[in-house]
Structure 1
Amino acid sequence: MTTKRNLIALAAGGSALLLLGAWAFQYIGGLAPCKMCIWQRYPHGAALVIGVLALALPGLRILPIFGALAALITAGIGVFHAGVEQKWWEGPSSCTSGDISGLSAEELMNQIMSAPLVRCDEIPWEMLGVSMAGWNAIVSFGLALIWIAAWRAR
């Protein structure tokens, strides 16, 4: 296997492992994902498909760039999500507690009743002070670099 093929397999395999890890946390560990957790999974799925295509069709030299873009997209979502978890900025109102000042009792009750079960602004698990969203961002930036190296390889 050539260096380019090895790099593509490593990058796509990294996305596959991150997806498997997320599913393990969900289905084995019982940690239900929030909306932004789910959003981070789609680019990894795309990167996996891109990796399979790039290995099957080595003449399509552009495919590693698309793999890098997928990795950068999930990394960006991960950075945003980690910022929401740390309260550095607000997340989508559909999955965070948001600001309740100025709400009437009825509006507050409606917000409570329509709130998701899993909120995006809470950290359900962390390692070394970094949440799953943060780890996804860190690893995905690394995967993007591997995809770029695959694109540059001969």
Structure 2
Amino acid sequence: MRRLIALALLGHVGLLGGAFVFEAFGFAPCAMCIWQRWPHAAAILLGTLGLAGLAPRLMAAGGAVAAATTSGFGAYHAGVEQGWWEGPAACGSGGSLAGLSAGDLLSTEAPSDLVLCDEIVWQLGLTMAGWNFVLSAGLAVIWIVAATRRA
């Protein structure tokens, strides 16, 4: 069980660390990218507590929930990027101009680092969100196996 928890923990460290490395290289995250980071952080905390001996089965079950959550966010985000469904109104480029004043429309002071959730900024077969979906789903399986294994 400890090896599986350690493996899953390292997977989450790698995925979250990779997100920060991409950001350091100029790939600013959108709002949905940030959503995907929080469950990784939770899984890292749960895995660390599990390895420290604090209710390892319970921590592994929590890690499975965290991994499934970020995987679900990744699937949703990948679908938004592909145009399969709409994303949150505040996160996409397909929103309407309703609610904007003439001053807002004419303003040249729009944030230059605004990243829209429905635009693909990097892709290698899958987008970053797609990779998060697939890899986090795999981590969820590892967590589930760890939670159901005898110590």
TM-score when scaled to structure 1?
0.87
Question: In angstroms, what is the RMSD of aligned CA positions?
Answer: 2.4
Residues 118-129 of structure 1 mapped to structure 2, 5 A cutoff:
118-128=115-125
Letter matched to residue 69 of structure 2 = I
Aligned-residue sequence identity (percent) comes to 49
Distance 1:11 1:104, change over 3 A: closer
Which residue is equivalent to 1:138? 134
Following superposition, the deviation at residue 105 of structure 1 comes to: 7.8
Q: How far apart in 2 are the matches of 1:141 and 1:24? A: 21
| Stretches of structure 1 lacking an aligned partner (at least 5 in a row) | none
Distance 1:95 1:113, change over 3 A: farther
Which residue is equivalent to 1:50? 46
Answering whether residue 26 of structure 2 is matched by residue 30 of structure 1, we say yes
TM-score when scaled to structure 2?
0.88
- For this pair of structures, how many residues does the alignment match? 149
Which residue is equivalent to 1:64? 60
Letter matched to residue 6 of structure 1 = R
Following superposition, the deviation at residue 152 of structure 1 comes to: 1.2
Q: Could you list the per-position Cα deviations for residues 28-58 of structure 1 after superposition, in whole angstroms to 9, with x for gaps in the alignment?
A: x210000000110000000000000001125
More moved, 94-103 vs 47-56: 94-103
Alpha carbons 1:100, 1:108 under 8 Å: kept: no
Answering whether residue 68 of structure 2 is matched by residue 98 of structure 1, we say no
Q: How far apart in 1 are the matches of 2:9 and 2:70? A: 13
Q: How far apart in 2 are the matches of 1:45 and 1:32? A: 18
The one of 5, 10, 14 aligned to 2:11: 14
